[in-house]
Structure 1
């Protein structure tokens, strides 16, 4: 019996020992599984963070709307696709009617610096004309080289060219001219963009971001736009960087040219020699009669040695339903001439800015323009960039320009607009004895500016300031499957003021009425 009891006791002890060992193994496995689960959770959390960061970076990079549409539908309605390239056609057929109270002998662009004084017969002669030369054609070719690289080529022409064969007497054979022709490269992963070719200058205003092809110009019919709006189309190189979804920084180098004032004239009582007759014969400000490099040999080419350099910042803050665009720019230009067998240069700096704002969403828009510096060739007047003294000293002309516009979208099809603008020059001159040089010199002879066809009298009348008020309407007559038909009517009143000289300070004005019919087939 004792033997049996001992055996039972040993069996019970062995069973209990085995059960304890099994429980230890289960506990160990549970701890191991928990550790692996924790490690797996950490990996999932890490991948989720990376995904969120990638989505945030993708949102920060704003691609042009055309690229977004291209990604969504590589051949959307209204586009043509060829070998992976999407073509978008644009442009319009235009007929503009012009009436001016003063005869500028100009087409659809009113050159405000040519508004005649009372001395000219044209002061008392109005002009009326029709023109189809604002008709325009454009094509945008775009494609994706890879997931992050986008390419776009853009070309645009109108018929504002006027070669020697152009004539409005019989055939009205005005020739096409290149407006824009450029290549754009966008890297969406870097938020970096490049442009090469001819486009609007970087100091031209835009409506959002850094727009390589568009410009936020006053919506007027007059091809010369509104005083205070500065712009040019130039060949050059541009680069810009997205800094988040709202801020952009850009820089460009562009083709340089200088418009020198050629009106250095003798004082009252001195012989009436030609405009350059009193300049030192050893002075050269332009390369005249080029033509060996495909330039028209009747045009002058500036002696520029370095390109224009522009930097620009653009900000598009998010303000709920309101759109706001603010930009500012700075421009470096170098003016050059040659005198007494030596080159001379003058470095200049200019600055400006632009605001586009929706005061009432989809109803009332505001445009503001402002600039200051050596900007003559960019102005609507246009002003010269500089004059010269007899010893070759460059006399740069400082321009102050500003404009404001309100656009009321009265109905979905009708816009009503109004603008006011001015451009003003600061005189810069020098004298050699009694012979005046420069621009706005008070010794210049203005005695003949006030009487029509005044015999033997002179009217120099250097423009000091141009002011304008403009108002108009633009209506969409038809919009549907066959395109869009629009029509507009505009009135502008422009004043031209001259610097005071011997005999006084002449001034003149012009009343201009324009009409326009445009058909947009694309």
Structure 2
């Protein structure tokens, strides 16, 4: 019995030990499972934290990159380098086809102020021609001369020059013309820029920031662009400062020229300006036929003694994927003449603004401009800047100009565009008895403006405003390492209105169609 009792007791002890062992194994297994779950959770949180840190780092890097100037690549792919200078070539070979329903006797640029009234034979004749004169060549030379000091020299030529020997009969010998030639010095650490030479005037609109070498011009074929687009290329100096990545402020002093209203036939007597704006021979507004140092004696250079001064602010805010550029400017001008032993001058201030925006990123763009002031020589019409009173004193002509346009990038290769533009002025005149003076005078004789072959003196109409509505497309036919070939078509409807005079307020219009094929080798 004792033996049997011992066996039973031993069995019980073994069974209890086994149960305890099984319980311990179970708990250990559960602990291991829980530990793995905790490790996986911590790993997931760690990955999320790393991803968040990476996103934050990328955001900060993007902001820093946006604020920092783009580093200059001394010899980027596709560019030519020589002795530390990088050369970038630009330009194109162009063929433009031109048709006008009224004969302007003009090449690639339509001078809207010359659209003929029915009095002229040109009103009833159209014109058509081809021209290669919009072909262009440009060269940009850049170098890092010191730490944080970047220097760029830029030159640009086209074939829109027309010397006395130029013609369209046999050789079409149209000469090259200087468009731009400037040097720019940039201090990247200070955000300070300096430019000297011939470039786009500061009041010409930019696509972004302050860009002296390019403008936000309507993408049309007509060389005179769209009414409402104000621009000129003038020699001068310019300084501008970056205030952060979004705002820039610039000031310039540029070569002054004045377009006075008047002809070349003198009046009998002493008035400075009489019917049709004819100038008295005693009034000096132009250096007529200067023929001096490198001036063509067939051209006039206006009498000026103060440069044009312009100040401009440009803002490029960051709106997510949308691009926006807004700018505003003001210009000081001085007009100057000499008449009857006395000098006269008058100061004017003009102003304007421009915007360019992406309505749909990479798909739809919108641009607009507005300006007001004595801006005649900058207009597409073009208008005169000023007229004269009978005593030789100067009356500036106020110009108001508007432009709106849109470009739709329908495909990567095809762009459709539409623009509307307006330029107008106010009648500015004075009278001495029954003799009319100035611009837009209601005493001017317009009786013959709508009668073909009527004497020229019976159509003294002065342009009051010019309007244009234009549509077109531009298509990239081929593009590759060899360059690109592009082609486009433009149609515009143009209207010219005159001031009311004796016999009414004549008006005229012109339908213009242009085609273009260009090869961009660079």
Q: TM-score range by the shorter chain?
A: 0.7 to 0.9
SS in 2 for 1:500: coil
SS in 1 for 2:176: strand
Specify the alignment match of 2:401 in structure 1.
Answer: 401
**Equivalents in 1 of 2:439, 2:277: separation in Å?**
16
Specify the alignment match of 1:515 in structure 2.
Answer: 515
Q: 1:380 deviation in Å? A: 0.1
**Equivalents in 2 of 1:281, 1:510: separation in Å?**
35
Q: 1:491 deviation in Å? A: 0.3
SS in 2 for 1:323: strand
Specify the alignment match of 2:106 in structure 1.
Answer: 106
> Which runs of structure 2 are paired with 1:273-312 in the superposition (5 Å)?
279-312=279-312
Consecutive unaligned residues of structure 1, counting only runs of 5 or more, are: 1-54, 268-272
Q: Using a 3 Å threshold, how does the CA distance of structure 1 residues 456 and 297 change in structure 2: closer, same or farther?
A: closer
8 Å Cα contact 1:473-1:488 kept in structure 2: yes
Specify the alignment match of 1:327 in structure 2.
Answer: 327
Specify the alignment match of 1:349 in structure 2.
Answer: 349
Q: Using a 3 Å threshold, how does the CA distance of structure 1 residues 362 and 394 change in structure 2: closer, same or farther?
A: same
> Which runs of structure 2 are paired with 1:339-418 in the superposition (5 Å)?
339-418=339-418
8 Å Cα contact 1:227-1:422 kept in structure 2: yes
8 Å Cα contact 2:276-2:444 kept in structure 1: no
8 Å Cα contact 2:263-2:279 kept in structure 1: no
**Equivalents in 1 of 2:277, 2:472: separation in Å?**
45
Q: 1:395 deviation in Å? A: 1.2
**Equivalents in 1 of 2:352, 2:277: separation in Å?**
37
Q: Using a 3 Å threshold, how does the CA distance of structure 1 residues 301 and 433 change in structure 2: closer, same or farther?
A: same
SS in 2 for 1:113: helix
Specify the alignment match of 1:227 in structure 2.
Answer: 227
Q: Using a 3 Å threshold, how does the CA distance of structure 1 residues 308 and 121 change in structure 2: closer, same or farther?
A: same
Q: CA RMSD in A?
A: 2.1
Specify the alignment match of 2:482 in structure 1.
Answer: 482
Specify the alignment match of 2:31 in structure 1.
Answer: none
Q: Using a 3 Å threshold, how does the CA distance of structure 1 residues 425 and 265 change in structure 2: closer, same or farther?
A: farther
Kindly provide the CA deviation profile for residues 67-92 of structure 1, in whole angstroms up to 9, marking residues without a partner as x: x3x33xx2222211000000000000
Q: Using a 3 Å threshold, how does the CA distance of structure 1 residues 278 and 328 change in structure 2: closer, same or farther?
A: closer
Range with greater deviation from structure 2 (388-397 or 108-117): 388-397
Range with greater deviation from structure 2 (389-398 or 378-387): 389-398
Q: Using a 3 Å threshold, how does the CA distance of structure 1 residues 455 and 430 change in structure 2: closer, same or farther?
A: closer
1:468 counterpart = 2:468:
yes
What TM-score does the superposition give when structure 2 sets the normalisation length? 0.85
1:493 counterpart = 2:493:
yes
**Equivalents in 1 of 2:134, 2:456: separation in Å?**
41
8 Å Cα contact 1:328-1:351 kept in structure 2: yes
**Equivalents in 2 of 1:258, 1:206: separation in Å?**
24
Specify the alignment match of 1:423 in structure 2.
Answer: 423
8 Å Cα contact 1:61-1:188 kept in structure 2: no
Specify the alignment match of 2:204 in structure 1.
Answer: 204
Q: 1:342 deviation in Å? A: 2.0
SS in 2 for 1:161: coil
8 Å Cα contact 2:206-2:215 kept in structure 1: yes
Specify the alignment match of 2:435 in structure 1.
Answer: 435
**Equivalents in 1 of 2:143, 2:285: separation in Å?**
45
What TM-score does the superposition give when structure 1 sets the normalisation length? 0.85
SS in 1 for 2:146: coil
How many pairs align?
A: 458
**Equivalents in 2 of 1:295, 1:346: separation in Å?**
26
> Which runs of structure 2 are paired with 1:189-200 in the superposition (5 Å)?
189-200=189-200
Q: 1:462 deviation in Å? A: 0.4
Specify the alignment match of 1:139 in structure 2.
Answer: 139
1:451 counterpart = 2:451:
yes
8 Å Cα contact 2:222-2:514 kept in structure 1: yes
Kindly provide the CA deviation profile for residues 297-326 of structure 1, in whole angstroms up to 9, marking residues without a partner as x: 111111111000000000000000000000
Specify the alignment match of 1:218 in structure 2.
Answer: 218
Q: Using a 3 Å threshold, how does the CA distance of structure 1 residues 109 and 278 change in structure 2: closer, same or farther?
A: closer
SS in 1 for 2:155: strand
Q: 1:62 deviation in Å? A: 5.5
Consecutive unaligned residues of structure 2, counting only runs of 5 or more, are: 1-60, 268-272
Q: 1:485 deviation in Å? A: 0.3
Q: 1:339 deviation in Å? A: 1.6
**Equivalents in 1 of 2:62, 2:150: separation in Å?**
20
**Equivalents in 2 of 1:306, 1:457: separation in Å?**
36
8 Å Cα contact 1:137-1:157 kept in structure 2: yes
Q: Using a 3 Å threshold, how does the CA distance of structure 1 residues 132 and 430 change in structure 2: closer, same or farther?
A: same
Kindly provide the CA deviation profile for residues 127-172 of structure 1, in whole angstroms up to 9, marking residues without a partner as x: 0000000000000000001220000000000000000000001110
Range with greater deviation from structure 2 (428-437 or 161-170): 428-437
Q: 1:340 deviation in Å? A: 2.1
8 Å Cα contact 2:90-2:138 kept in structure 1: yes
